[in-house]
Amino acid sequence: MERREFVTLIGGVAVALPLAVRAQQKGKLPRVGVLSPGAVDTPGALGFYSGLRELGYTEGSNIMIVRRYGDWNSDRFQLLAAELVRLNVDVILVVSTSPAHAAKQATSLIPIVVGGMADPVGDELIATLSHPGGNITGTSFLGPELIGKRFELLKQTISGISRIGALWHPSAYGKRTMEGLVKETEAAAQALKLELQLVPAKGPGDLDGAFAAMTREGVDAVILLPSPMLFVEHKRIVDLAFRNRLPTMYAAREFVEDGGLMSYGANQPELFRRAAMLVDKILKGARPTDLPVEQPTRLEFAFNLKAAKELRLAIPPEILVLADVLIE
């Protein structure tokens, strides 16, 4: 795997005593609250814990982690964020945009690091990428900007397709981001003269019905819009796509590693390892307002040759040349 490079324009302004030092002086370990939208950690977010270990942190030894899970119920996000504030954690790590809004409403004092944001400026979490302002910083994976490229790769890979199903999670991110994702999806399909069927999945329980609907409508292929919920369900989605014989373009390589056909996007675990570095800097005294939101500078195109063979697809050689990651 080619190592991905990320923008690292980080400047820190030290305070008199870093949070970690103050915590140790009080005889307490620094505490990081983790707020996740689902019932378990997303595969990408596990990179946060790996990042902490790489930085020398061991849970229970020199750091405490307080986990809270929203179970895909947006009404719970505010309650869980408020609970972390009451527990007086030193930093809050938030997975994705929707629970980040709850954390922002819950506190303007405790530093917040958000991993995997789609459009943090458009969703009004920060002022600008370079100067976030307030108490929030984090990483962004690039959301609507990549939709067109995914459509192009899908059409280049599968000749003769005319009807595409787009599986999406309507509450995955903020209102403006979701509107942008849908708009870009419609524009990309129109530009390539493809008929589009937008199929929503509000929760994991909707996935079987969504694939049944796309199969019933006779789509030639499927594209997944980015979503933490869909990411958590990636193994099940790959299985559904295979059982319905639907070639599918995903937003993250984890789908492809588990048998999916192809993906194009940022390396999610790396984004969360970068989030761990931001948390480390804050514990050592940096302020979120001085830590620019980081975006990937390189993206990866992953392709599964075994999946293509099982789907009996004739893959153009130029597609294989473009792939950064080939799985056989």
Q: What is the mean pLDDT of residues 23-35?
A: 78
Domains of the chain, start order: 19-142+266-290 (3.40.50.2300), 144-265+300-327 (3.40.50.2300)
Walk across the sheet containing 300-304 and list its strands: 195-200, 163-168, 221-224, 248-250, 262-265, 300-304, 325-327
What per-residue confidence (pLDDT) applies to 122? 87
CB atoms closer than 10 angstroms to residue 99: 26
Whether the pLDDT of residue 109 is over 90: the answer is yes
- Model confidence at 225: pLDDT above 50: yes
The predicted model gives 11-40 an average pLDDT of: 66
Average pLDDT (134-158) is: 92
Q: Which residue has the higher pLDDT, 237 or 177?
A: 237
Per-residue pLDDT, averaged over 317-328, amounts to: 93
Q: What percent of the chain has pLDDT over 70?
A: 92
**Please, what is the end-to-end C-alpha distance for the chain in angstroms?**
14
Name the CA radius of gyration of the chain, rounded.
Answer: 20
The more confident residue out of 325 and 2 is 325
- Mean pLDDT rounded to a whole number for the chain: 90
pLDDT, tens digit, for every residue of 120-135? 998 899 999 999 999 9
Using pLDDT thresholds of 50, 70 and 90, give the confidence band for residue 257: very high
pLDDT band per the 50, 70, 90 thresholds, residue 290 = very high
Q: Per-residue confidence at 51, pLDDT binned at 50, 70, 90?
A: very high
Q: How confident is the model at residue 223 (pLDDT cuts 50, 70, 90)?
A: very high
Across 160-182, b (16+ Cβ under 10 Å) vs e yields ebeebbbbbbebbbbebbbebbb
Helix (H) or strand (E) holding 196: strand 195-200
- Between 107 and 144, whose confidence is greater? 107
* Per-residue pLDDT at 18: 52
Residue 271 has pLDDT above 50, yes or no: yes
User: What is the model's pLDDT at position 12?
Assistant: 35
The span from the CA of 108 to the CA of 20, in Å, is 20
User: Percent of the chain beyond pLDDT 90?
Assistant: 81
Q: Across the beta sheet with 136-140, what order do the strands follow?
A: 64-69, 31-36, 91-95, 112-117, 136-140
pLDDT at 21 over 70: no
Q: Is the model's pLDDT at 43 over the cut of 80?
A: yes
Instruction: Return the pLDDT at 25.
Output: 45
pLDDT on residue 126: 95
Where does the pLDDT of residue 7 fall: very low under 50, low under 70, confident under 90, or very high at 90 and above?
very low
pLDDT at 265 over 80: yes
Position 118 scores a pLDDT of 86
Question: What average pLDDT does range 69-84 have in this prediction?
Answer: 95
Confidence of residue 142 (pLDDT cuts 50, 70, 90): confident
pLDDT of residue 5: 38
